[in-house]
Chain A
């Protein structure tokens, strides 16, 4: 469904000496995402996740490389661009609502932008507000909504035109755990209904909970792609953790026996636990940055 080949984005950047330099935001990214897949882009701040989404959603053009959606190439051709845009829905990281419109009007504007007829858009707005449990605030301005409500509204807005592919850029950032889990449920429900989903996050447990496959990025480069389960088993299913001064250290082991044997060799107090995607992430992106 989505093919990304050698994607690269270079921005102009003002350096320390105030001279113009180039900053590579995404560097040679190649991956493909299948129909109906929930794909996670994981990485620390500045890894290039948002820039990747911006290129995929045509908010910014790649410096080089290729993006294909079901054979349509992202480029300068307006007809291709319009065909692709009809396929995709975007939940951006920032709450980019129209501040002057109400909840209902924001959704109506979006539906009109996707050329939906009056009856269809009225039905869809009602249906989606119910889906994200915001029917009661249809006539409120978006400024009056809480952070969690705004995030749910962003999801409703992105879904209004029945997109086949959904991009979610840090959809649960700065939300409390209850709201975050509610949004996870929504994402899982959308995936179960057949949408292809690409989600960026720096919450490891989020990727582990909802993604079929995960790509780990750092400094614009793709470090690895796999399923969360394979990542964990590949790098070791068990972790020994101990304190070294003020730092928390850890080491991954394939079996509990290996972990226990290492634990026995340590002078410091240590513990054994099952590894998770966070351990993998820190191992791949570098302990200093990850921690």
Chain B
């Protein structure tokens, strides 16, 4: 099983290695824009009410949403492998444990998410942000990447066309990017909407990263919510992959 996981991971690593420079450069664009526009631009006139600058408040949110986007979209090519190229058939025909395929893909997406997060951390320090990176902070990032990689995997297994994959981004990832405590506290939202937002995984990643990086506070409830998402999405992903044979 470990050898199978490594093989699936190896394939994605080779592809990433081919495109490493382009990957790193492209990952810098969005964070620079966010940090400039919201951190330096708008942020200077925003009072967070906690004494910390808006830039410090913003960086954990950007890390949460960026790691979500990168890990989700890292797994999306599985959709083309299944629907268009049929290269996923090679893994089904080979003596590979089905769970290994899912784990290998998720780990590769976590790697991409972490590389991208490291770029943001470096840029954020350059922009003058103050926050601390602890092992638990990195663990929460890994958890967030894994949850959204699994969600990307589920979408890739069930969605029919490229266009529909785009709709998943529009209807699920985009609203989460803005509403889940990334750019502003969810306390500002009406109660009913806030209760709903509190059910979403990105909200808890934002809470956790901000708590760990700026306020030295950790909510075990948020860790538990992410762990539940991780387990449920893994089961759905594995079952979806096995169901390809039916």
Interface of A toward B, CB cutoff 8 Å: 57-61, 78, 81-83, 85-86, 88, 90, 92, 94, 96-101, 105, 109-110, 112-115
**Does B44 count as interface, using CB distance less than 8 angstroms?**
no
Measured in the bound complex, the distance between the Cα atoms of B95 and A83 in whole Å is 8
16 A–B contacts from the bound complex (CB under 8 Å): A57-B93, A58-B93, A59-B92, A61-B245, A85-B95, A88-B93, A96-B90, A97-B87, A98-B87, A99-B85, A99-B87, A100-B18, A110-B90, A113-B7, A113-B94, A113-B96
Identify whether the interface residues of B are mostly helix, strand, loop, or mixed.
helix
Residue of A with least CB distance to B245? A61
Residue numbers in A under 8 Å from B95 (CB-CB): 81-83, 85-86, 113-115
Q: A58-B245, A61-B245 are in contact. Are A92 and B96 (CB under 8 A)?
A: no
A-B contacts at CB below 8 angstroms, number: 66
Residue of B with least CB distance to A111? B7
Residue numbers in A under 8 Å from B94 (CB-CB): 85, 110, 113-114
Q: A59-B92, A85-B93, A113-B91 are in contact. Are A96 and B85 (CB under 8 A)?
A: yes
How many chain-B residues does the 8 Å CB contact rule pick out?
Answer: 24
Measured in the bound complex, the distance between the Cα atoms of B95 and A57 in whole Å is 11
Q: Which of A60, A96, A113 contacts B86 (CB 8 A)?
A: A96
12 further interface pairs, Cβ-Cβ under 8 Å (given A88-B93, A112-B7) = A61-B246, A81-B95, A82-B95, A85-B93, A94-B86, A109-B10, A109-B90, A110-B90, A110-B94, A112-B10, A113-B7, A113-B95
- The minimal Cβ–Cβ distance linking A197 to chain B, given in whole angstroms, is 16
Measured in the bound complex, the distance between the Cα atoms of B81 and A97 in whole Å is 9
**Does B172 count as interface, using CB distance less than 8 angstroms?**
no
Are B89 and A92 within 8 A (Cβ)? yes
Residue numbers in A under 8 Å from B3 (CB-CB): 112, 115
Are B7 and A59 within 8 A (Cβ)? no
Find residues 70-96 in chain B having any chain A CB closer than 8 Å to their own CB: 77, 81, 85-87, 89-96
Are B87 and A96 within 8 A (Cβ)? yes
Residue of B with least CB distance to A141? B18
Residue numbers in B under 8 Å from A88 (CB-CB): 93
**Does B220 count as interface, using CB distance less than 8 angstroms?**
no
Residue numbers in B under 8 Å from A101 (CB-CB): 11, 14-15
Find residues 96-151 in chain B having any chain A CB closer than 8 Å to their own CB: 96-97
Residue numbers in A under 8 Å from B11 (CB-CB): 98, 101, 109
